[in-house]
Every structure is written in structure tokens, then in C-alpha cells.
Amino acid sequence: MTCIIRKITHPEAYELRQARLDHAHITQKPMVERTFYYENVKNGEQYHDLYGCIAWPTEVTEKDIGRPGYVGIIAVLKTNKPVEKSGFLLMEEAESKDVATILTHAINFRQKYGYGLHPTLLSSWWGGPERFITTIALFNQHFQSKEILIAPPVDFYEPKAFDIYSHSMRSVITPGRVRFGFGNNTILMNRLQLYKRDDPAVLAVGGLIHTLLLSCEWMDQHQPNMFVLEEEGNV
């Protein structure tokens, strides 16, 4: 699958980073904007970062055949808004009741959206790391050193995680303060309208949005009097 993302780094990245760190130290800001961003070669859109989220199919019971799992790519838009208030865009999504198919979508998505352009870009996926461990391990045998890695979103182990994620999801699509765009995608939109508890699509995207809102993952953490030298090309 052809990659549609390119990484753009400021020509004087080191100097710009130092200036931003100095300014953050003076103003006591906890985070700074990065000196690189990503561009969509198809439409010119610019992104601070892109993230993958994943949720597994629900359990099958005698009364319920289960709901499909979900996988999606979310971009943090680079616009004229303050960087910490950036909006989110659903780039692409897919669903399936088959775990291997979900993982295959993840492999295709990360190739399309720039995996490898930067060490952290789509290096792991936000989701539940403790289900289908054997299936994931067997699948990853074909991608040694480039395995699909799963990291739990913030508050994932809280008893009411789905309620927390639903609230965060609703907070960015509320009329008057919309911060999330669905693009041309319909799976998540339809799931939100039907709204069944523990829905994988809401769990996946809501967990990612909750994590991003709390941590501004697309910005660099600033630590006073500490300057980090990045490898050339990764600044």
C-alpha cells in the first residue's frame, strides 16, 4: 500500500527547538511544539501527529453473536489554532469480527500513514493489550522487529473506562465546541448513533481521544534546564 504521508522538518530544527525550550522555560509552559510535522501528499493537509487505535470483537454468547472489532487512524490537525487546542480527524477506519483481519487492517493503515518516517509514528496502537494474545503473537511472527504493539489508553483499567471514554468522545463532537471530524467515514458515526454499551468503535476512538486530551501526545514535554539532543532527522 502506497504511503500518502511525508515528514517535514524545519531547516533549522535544532535552533528552533532551543528557542522554544527557552521560551517555555521563561513562561513556565509544560509543553512545546515540535520542529517537525506531517503532510498529506494527496490533499496538502498538515498534521502534528497520527495515531492508531484498536478494539477487539466483543464476546460471543448464546444470546449475542458479538459486535465487530474496530481499527482506526486519527490525525491531529496542524492549523492556525493554538497547537495544544488542535482538532482531530478520523482518517480511516475498518471493522471485522475476525482478529487477524483487524490486525491486517492495522498493518495496511500504518504503511499508508507513514510508519517509519519517525521512530514514534504508529510504533504502537492504543487499545486493550490483554486479549487475543496468542493470535497477536502468531500474527507478529511475520513482522519481526516491526510487530503490532498494543498500549492501554489512559484510565483503561478503571472499572468505568467505557463511561470515561464515551464522555471524552462526546466532549469533542458537542455542537458549539466541535473538535473532531469524521471525514468520509461512517462506522464510528453509526456506532455513536446506535450507542450500545462497550461498543468497540467507541471504546477504541474514545480511549485514544481521552488519552490525547489529557496528555497532548503530539507536543514535546518541556523539562526546565534540560535540553535533549535528537538524532539528526528526528528532531
Average pLDDT of the segment spanning 86-101: 97
For cell 501526545, the residue is: 217
pLDDT of 188 above 90: yes
Contact by Cβ (8 Å): 58, 200 = yes
Q: How far apart are CA 108 and CA 134, in angstroms?
A: 21
- Residue of 13, 12, 11 lying closest to 235 (CA atoms): 13
Question: H or E segment at 183?
Answer: none
Q: How far apart are CA 169 and CA 84, in angstroms?
A: 17
Domains of the chain: 5-221 (3.30.420)
pTM for the model stands at 0.88
pLDDT tens-digit profile of 191-223? 999 988 999 999 999 999 999 999 888 887 755
Question: H or E segment at 187?
Answer: helix 187-194
First-to-final CA distance of the chain: 27
| pLDDT on residue 57 | 95
